[in-house]
Structure 1
Amino acid sequence: MVSVVVVTYNSEGTVGETLTSLDRQTYPDDRYEVLVVDGGSTDGTARIASDHGVEWLVAEGATIGECRNRGVDAATGEYVAFTDSDCAVPATWLDSHVERIEAYADHEDVVGVGGPNRPFPDDPAFAKLIGSLQGTVFGSGGSPQSHAIDEVRLVRSVAACNVLYRADVFEEYRYDDAVNVGEDAEFHFRLSEAGYRFVFDPTIAVSHHLSADFGAFCKKNRSYGYAMARIQRRHGRVIRWYSALPSLALGGGALAALADICARKARYVPLLLLAFLVVSGYATAQVYRDRRSPLALLVPVLLAAQYCLYGVGFLEGLTTPDPVPQDLP
Structure 2
Amino acid sequence: MEEKIVVSFIIPAFNEANMIVDTLTQLHKFAPKVGYEIIIVDNGSTDNTIELAQHFGDTVISCAQGTIAAVRNFGVQVSTGRILVFIDADVKLTQQWQDNINNTIENIDKNPLLITGSRCSPPENNNTLNTHWFNLLVESNSSTYINSGHLITSKVLFDKISGFNEELRTAEDHDFCIRATQAEALISPNASLKVFHDGYPTTYAQFIKRERWHGREDFKSFTSLFNSKIALIICFHVMLFMLSLAIVYLHGIIAGVSFYALSMFILTLALTRYKFNGSPMQSLMKTSLIHYAYIIGRTLSLVDRLTFRYSSKFR
Query: TM-score range with shorter-chain normalisation?
Result: 0.7 to 0.9
Moved more, 36-45 or 87-96: 87-96
Aligned position for 2:192:
203
Deviations 1:164-208 (A, max 9, x none): 111111223211222222221222222233332221112222111
Aligned position for 1:18:
23
Mapping of 1:146-225 within 5 angstroms? 146-149=137-140, 156-173=144-161, 174-209=163-198, 210-225=200-215
Mapping of 1:160-309 within 5 angstroms? 160-173=148-161, 174-209=163-198, 210-230=200-220, 233=221, 238-259=226-247, 262=250, 269=260, 272-276=263-267, 278-279=269-270, 286=279, 299-309=287-297
Structure 1 residue 31: deviation in Å? 1.1
TM-score (norm 1): 0.77
CA gap of 1:221–1:259, structure 2 versus 1, over 3 A, is same
Deviations 1:30-76 (A, max 9, x none): 51111111102121111211111111111113321111001110111
Query: What SS does the corresponding residue of 1:204 show, helix, strand or coil?
Result: coil
- Aligned positions, number: 299
CA gap of 1:235–1:114, structure 2 versus 1, over 3 A, is farther
CA contact (8 A) 1:22 1:91 kept: no
- Structure 2, unmatched stretches of 5+, are 1-5
Aligned position for 1:120:
123
* CA RMSD, Structure 1 to Structure 2 (Å): 3.3
Give the distance between the partners of 1:306 and 1:25, measured in 2 at CA.
34
CA contact (8 A) 1:226 1:315 kept: no
- Structure 1, unmatched stretches of 5+, are 137-145, 291-295, 325-329
CA contact (8 A) 1:247 1:308 kept: no
Aligned position for 2:70:
66
Does residue 36 of structure 1 match 2:40? Answer: yes
